[in-house]
Amino acid sequence: MCGNKYSVSFDLMDGGCYGNRSACFCSSIINLHTNHPSIVLIDLIPLIVFGFFYICLTRKNKKKTGVENSINKLNDRINKNADFAKRIGEGDYTSPFMSLGDDDAFREIITPYAG
């Protein structure tokens, strides 16, 4: 090993301990990683962090989409009942009624948060 035995960056600047200061070839990179296996872990840290955040954000977006869909369904049902009430108020008693029970409304909002 050349240079300071505790300095990985010194080995890189020294051409991977092979005296080649002009370029950093694949063989010198492989030899450097072979001599210092901890560099492999350091090189993988950005990939691990990216994977972690990708998984977290994907889960968050799925949950958010589920809540948005539930709210949209609930708003549609409320609008249908408001339209029904408007027609009844105008004197149209032949309109069909679609019940929006309290349990259904509660279930539409709470279900996405339960899991």
In this structure, is residue 41 part of a structural domain?
no
30 part of a folded domain? yes
The span from the CA of 17 to the CA of 6, in Å, is: 13
**pTM of the shown model:** 0.44
Determine contact, residues 88/70, Cβ cutoff 8 Å.
no
| Domain co-membership, 28 together with 52 | no
Quick one: pLDDT at residue 101?
56
Q: Domain for residue 91, yes or no?
A: yes
Closest C-alpha among 55, 62, 33, 72 to residue 24 = 33
The residue range of the domain holding 19 is 1-36
According to the model, what pLDDT value does residue 60 have? 92
Tokens for 10, please give them: 């010194």
Question: Do 63 and 96 share a domain, yes or no?
Answer: yes
In this structure, are 102 and 66 located in the same domain?
A: yes
Asked whether residue 23 carries a pLDDT value surpassing 50, the answer given is yes
Q: What is the pLDDT of residues 92-109, one digit of tens each?
A: 877 776 665 555 555 555
105 within domain boundaries = yes
**Claim to verify: residue 52 and residue 29 sit in the same structural domain:** no
**CA end-to-end span of the chain, whole Å?**
56
Residues 60, 108 within the same domain: yes
* Structural domains of the chain, count: 2
Rounded average pLDDT over 65-89: 88
User: What's the confidence (pLDDT) of residue 34?
Assistant: 86
**Is pLDDT of 22 > 50?**
no
Instruction: Write the pLDDT tens digit of every residue in 24-73.
Output: 677 888 888 888 888 888 889 999 999 999 999 999 999 899 889 889 98
